[in-house]
């Protein structure tokens, strides 16, 4: 009995093409999973107050994942009242594939690339981003220190916010000086002159 399988010449030519097609389909499916739900950034998705002026283009999109520290302190210009005071942020900046490309920390608010270039800036505007979230923000960048990814950045937008608002816990004279850390996530969009 002959146990050797026989294949027609047509089938023999078709199998390598079918394998290549299956591989391409699989790679395409995996590629679309690399950044689930990501679409090109559009200023139309943010309030007008925090939109970057015309004449600029997106240079880099990052996602900041980290925490904000608050401290229970006397409220400025309000004798006898207390408030949660924003002490500073600490976050990792990731690119759209999830790879760490820099960090964000302060004070002063500083965005630093892994290549060593960094910048600070002055807040231009904010807009509410929903309950429990820190606000949208537009920052005018100061000239970058060091050469690299931050060189030439003119504006930074904080968008796509999740969390980070001041703690809901009571802040009173009984817990004056107490610090609380709040987790947050936000996209930082870096702009350069077009």
Q: Which residues contact 128 (CB under 8 A, 6 or more apart)?
A: 135, 136
Question: pLDDT tens digits, the chain, 194 residues: what are they?
Answer: 444 444 444 434 433 433 433 333 333 333 333 344 445 678 888 999 999 999 999 999 999 999 999 999 999 888 889 999 999 999 999 999 999 999 999 999 999 999 999 999 999 999 999 999 999 999 999 999 999 999 999 999 999 999 999 999 999 999 999 999 999 999 999 999 99
Model pTM above 0.75: yes
Q: Which pairing describes strands 118-119 and 110-113: parallel, antiparallel, or unpaired?
A: antiparallel
- Is 42 in a helix, a strand, or coil? coil
Residue among 144, 155, 164, 149 at smallest CA distance from 188: 155
User: What is the rounded CA–CA span in Å between residue 146 and residue 142?
Assistant: 12
Q: How many CB atoms lie within 10 A of CB 119?
A: 24
Q: Which of 86, 65, 61 is nearest to 75 (CA)?
A: 86
The token duo for 189 is: 């969009």
CA atoms of 160 and 116, how far apart (whole Å): 26
């Amino acid at each position: 009995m002959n146990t050797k399988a026989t294949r027609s010449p047509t089938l023999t030519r078709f199998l390598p093409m079918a394998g290549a097609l299956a591989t391409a389909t699989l790679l395409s499916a995996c590629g679309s999973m690399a950044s689930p739900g990501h679409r090109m950034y559009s200023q139309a998705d943010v309030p007008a107050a925090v939109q970057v002026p015309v004449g600029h283009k997106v240079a880099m999109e990052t996602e900041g994942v980290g925490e904000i520290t608050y401290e229970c302190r006397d409220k400025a210009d309000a004798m006898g009242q207390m408030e949660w005071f924003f002490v500073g942020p600490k976050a990792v900046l990731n690119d759209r594939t999830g790879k760490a490309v820099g960090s964000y920390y302060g004070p002063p608010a500083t965005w630093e690339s892994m290549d060593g270039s960094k910048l600070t800036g002055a807040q231009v505007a904010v807009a509410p981003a929903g309950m429990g979230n820190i606000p949208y923000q537009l920052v005018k960048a100061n000239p970058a220190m060091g050469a690299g990814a931050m060189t030439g950045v003119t504006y930074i937008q904080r968008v796509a916010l999740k969390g980070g608002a001041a703690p809901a816990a009571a802040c009173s004279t009984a817990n004056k000086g107490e610090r609380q850390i709040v987790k947050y996530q936000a996209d930082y969009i870096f702009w350069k002159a077009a």
